[in-house]
Amino acid sequence: MTNTAYPLRTDRLLLRMFRPEDIDTLTAYRNDPRVSALQDWDLPYPRERAERLVAAHAGRDDVLPGKGTQLAIDLDGELIGDIYVGLDEHAGIAEIGFSLAAEHHGKGYAVEAASAVVDDLVDRVGVHRLVAELSPDNLASARLLERLGMTFEYFAEKSFWWRGAWDDNLFYSMTGEERRAWRDRPLTPPDQVRLIELTHENVWSYRRLRTHRSQERFVATMDQSFIDALFPEPEEGHPVVAVLRGIEADGEPAGFLMWADAINEGTPDPYLWRFLIDRSHQGRGIGRRALDQWTSELHAAGHTAVEASWVQAPGGPEPFYLGAGFVLTGEMDDGEAVARLQLGD
């Protein structure tokens, strides 16, 4: 380890050690049910516990091997949350956790603070592995971990003693190298997006594509898509033919598209069966360009409309599809809302 980085500044925040004047604010937000509902501390959270936490950090100016460190998230002199760092005795593995006062949710403060702490752990401290654990119901925290570049590692059933009962637990992790790669990944739109045929020569590159774990309730895995393509269920009495395409961005596998083709006149319109953009390529506009290419090709082949369906839930793909021109039909299919897109003028 080199010289301390704390207090550590970001664009908007200051990451620092706790001070006595933080005790009341810390006690208040740790007792707020909007904050504490899925956190691991017992309730109520007494002021005396906050006093002990602050006292344990007196005189400290850095994370320490073999100890836990609670870093205050400071916005313009105000405590708005905290980040936990549990550094092992060799300073090689770090566990992270975070909490944020409810009135500051949804403003990007948690990911800004966590990103700075993680980068300091990797770049300065020399941590080679980062881990985090959370409740399966804590979707907001899962999304934050995914935004850091962490990936779902495993699910442990009834493994965590929490407020008088055994609870399930999710584990996320990443290596230092994975953090650097995630931080350095392309973020701008690619010059070229192409739909390409999958063959025995390229299929394994596309099989490795994956969404974030929190998105798997909306998008099937690549393996599940391959299985469904091999053993399709008939639709409205008609056999289904699956057509698979890779989505290539600047020569790199970036996504996957599969549709159920209409095999003869009178069968249903083509149905967008699967549509996946790899987690490392999301946010670059690749999905919309791939969708436009697909619909243009189908229109040129004589089709007048396509259909899709999706789960309607927070974090789902509905805004994307509606923005692309799909219109909800009011029908539901196996729990998914059905939508239709007219092709051409």
Summarised one tens digit per residue, pLDDT across range 233-259 is 877 777 788 999 999 999 999 999 999
Classify residue 3: in a domain, yes or no. no
- The per-residue pLDDT for 2 is 54
Q: Are residues 23 and 132 in the same domain?
A: yes
- The per-residue pLDDT for 345 is 65
- Chosen domain end from 147, 182, 217: 182
Q: Are residues 235 and 200 in the same domain?
A: yes
Q: Are residues 316 and 229 in the same domain?
A: yes
d(CA 116, CA 18) in angstroms, rounded, equals: 17
Classify residue 84: in a domain, yes or no. yes
Give per-residue pLDDT as tens, 86-138: 999 999 999 999 999 999 999 999 999 999 999 999 999 999 999 999 999 99
- The per-residue pLDDT for 268 is 77
Q: Are residues 151 and 12 in the same domain?
A: yes
Name the residue range of residue 227's domain. 193-342
- The per-residue pLDDT for 300 is 94
Q: Are residues 25 and 115 in the same domain?
A: yes
Give per-residue pLDDT as tens, 247-291: 999 999 999 999 998 655 556 789 999 999 999 999 999 999 999
- The per-residue pLDDT for 264 is 54
Give the total number of structural domains in the chain. 2
Distances (CA, A) of 259 to 77, 89, 225, 245, 301: 54, 52, 10, 9, 15
- The per-residue pLDDT for 1 is 53
Q: Are residues 240 and 334 in the same domain?
A: yes
First to last CA, the chain: 63
Q: Are residues 128 and 250 in the same domain?
A: no
Q: What are 70's strand-pairing partners?
A: 84
Please report, for the domain that includes residue 238, its CATH number: 3.40.630.30
Q: Are residues 128 and 219 in the same domain?
A: no
Residue 200 CB burial class (10 angstroms; 0-12, 13-18, ≥19) = exposed
> Any idea which residue has 């949710």 for tokens?
105
With a threshold of 0.85, does the pTM exceed it? yes
Q: Are residues 214 and 175 in the same domain?
A: no
d(CA 85, CA 88) in angstroms, rounded, equals: 10
Q: Are residues 139 and 242 in the same domain?
A: no
- Chosen domain end from 182, 215, 234: 182
- Chosen domain end from 182, 215, 231: 182
Classify residue 126: in a domain, yes or no. yes
Dihedral of alpha carbons 101, 102, 103, 104, sign: positive
Confidence of residue 15 (pLDDT cuts 50, 70, 90): very high
10-24, 162-176, 230-244: least confidently modelled range: 230-244
Pairing between β-strand 151-162 and β-strand 93-100 as defined by DSSP bridges: unpaired
Q: Are residues 177 and 197 in the same domain?
A: no
- The per-residue pLDDT for 235 is 73
Query: Which has the closest alpha carbon to 322: 339, 335, 305?
Result: 339
- The per-residue pLDDT for 266 is 56
- The per-residue pLDDT for 294 is 97
Q: Are residues 224 and 109 in the same domain?
A: no
- The per-residue pLDDT for 344 is 81
Q: Are 285 and 303 in contact (CB under 8 A)?
A: no
- The per-residue pLDDT for 20 is 97
- The per-residue pLDDT for 174 is 98
pLDDT mean over 26-38? 96
